[in-house]
Amino acid sequence: MVSDTTSTAAATATGKAKAIQTRKLNLWYGSFQALFDVDIDVVQGKVTSLIGPSGCGKSTLLRSINRINERLGYVRTTGTIEVMGHNVLDPSVELTQLRRAAGMVFQRPNPLPLSIRDNLLFAYRLDRGGKGSRSDEDEVVEKALKEVLLWDQVKDRLLQKATELSLEEQQKLCIARLLPVKPSVLLMDEPCSALDPEATRAVEDLLWQLRGEYSILIVTHNMAQARRASDECIFMLMGKVVEHSATVEMFVTPKHQETADYLEGRFG
């Protein structure tokens, strides 16, 4: 349910397995309220775009799902957030585990200043409490790189520094390095904003390939991207969800005037 504006997509989502569900989610930075009673249902195995004008709370919502907002110290949250049916706001939740289950990709690729191989194995080794056998690790590296369609380009230079890769390759690597610890949800905050159009299309193609196995929630300002690369769209305005619809529906027959205005570029 997405408040009284519930759309067909959200309605048809009823009964479908949810990757992410929030109810009455409110969030304050100090005394400033950034999210208001946000209810979202992100369906498993789909790509869902989070769209809306600058400052409407897209990053805040995304960051509340794996609780990285809390690092700030002055953030207060009420309501519920579930990832794969688990209440992530429960005090007993182990944050490292949560951030593996809900891995995050940022605007600018941020590989560690290590080799391609060590980037891919970093979380994996932390997770298992040390290095694995050479053959196990080779397998992990190959699988993750193949999943992000990067294996052929880099298989002969796995010891090269990741920071020397092109931006497109770095961003794909930043997605790949989440995979060895088996996330169910991938949270992406404008992952293509530092990329040229060709690299953007390549990353979009990758997202489309990853859907199914992973549930992807992606923030984008690029409406063409939202339209091309997502199954469903959530439109936010001033900290509230206005509309959640199947992408085609939202672009062809938006249910709210504000959605239509935004999509037509009248604001934001």
Pairing of strands 32-43, 102-105: unpaired
- Out of 57, 103, 183, 254, which residue is the one contacting ligand ATP (CB under 6 A)? 57
State how far Cα 32 lies from the chain centre: 24
**Shortest Å, Cβ 190 to Mg ion:** 7
- Out of 56, 101, 140, 203, which residue is the one contacting ligand ATP (CB under 6 A)? 56
Q: What is the rounded CA–CA span in Å between residue 52 and residue 239?
A: 10
**Shortest Å, Cβ 29 to ligand ATP:** 3
Q: Which is nearer to Mg ion, 145 or 188 (CB)?
A: 188
Pairing of strands 75-83, 102-105: unpaired
Piece of 51-59, 85-93, 139-147, 254-262 that binds ligand ATP (CB under 6 A): 51-59
The answer for 73, left when phi > 0, alpha when psi is -120 to 50, beta otherwise, is left
Q: Which is nearer to Mg ion, 59 or 200 (CB)?
A: 59
Q: Taking CB under 6 A as the rule, does residue 55 contact ligand ATP?
A: yes
Residue 173, contacted partner among ligand ATP, Mg ion, none, CB below 5-8 A by kind? none
Beta bridge partners of 107: none
Q: Which is nearer to ligand ATP, 29 or 122 (CB)?
A: 29
Looking at residues 101 to 130 of the shown chain, list those that interact with ligand ATP (rule: CB under 6 A): none
Looking at residues 134 to 193 of the shown chain, list those that interact with Mg ion (rule: CB under 5 A): none
Site string for Mg ion, 27-66 (x = CB under 5 A): --------------------------------x-------
Q: Which is nearer to Mg ion, 124 or 262 (CB)?
A: 262
- Out of 5, 25, 42, 58, which residue is the one contacting ligand ATP (CB under 6 A)? 58
Q: What is the rounded CA–CA span in Å between residue 110 and residue 106?
A: 8
Piece of 57-65, 176-184, 193-201, 209-217 that binds ligand ATP (CB under 6 A): 57-65
Q: For the chain, where are the alpha helices, taking DSSP H only? A: 8-13, 58-65, 95-101, 116-128, 134-147, 151-154, 167-176, 197-210, 223-229, 247-252, 257-263
- Nearby residues of 251 by Cβ (< 8 Å), 6 or more positions away: 223, 227, 233, 263
DSSP state at residue 161:
B
- Out of 16, 17, 72, 205, which residue is the one contacting ligand ATP (CB under 6 A)? 72
Q: What is the rounded CA–CA span in Å between residue 67 and residue 61?
A: 10
Q: What is the rounded CA–CA span in Å between residue 169 and residue 172?
A: 5
Looking at residues 26 to 45 of the shown chain, list those that interact with ligand ATP (rule: CB under 6 A): 29, 32, 34
User: Which residues of the chain form contacts with Mg ion (CB under 5 A)?
Assistant: 59
User: Which residues of the chain form contacts with ligand ATP (CB under 6 A)?
Assistant: 29, 32, 34, 52, 54-60, 72
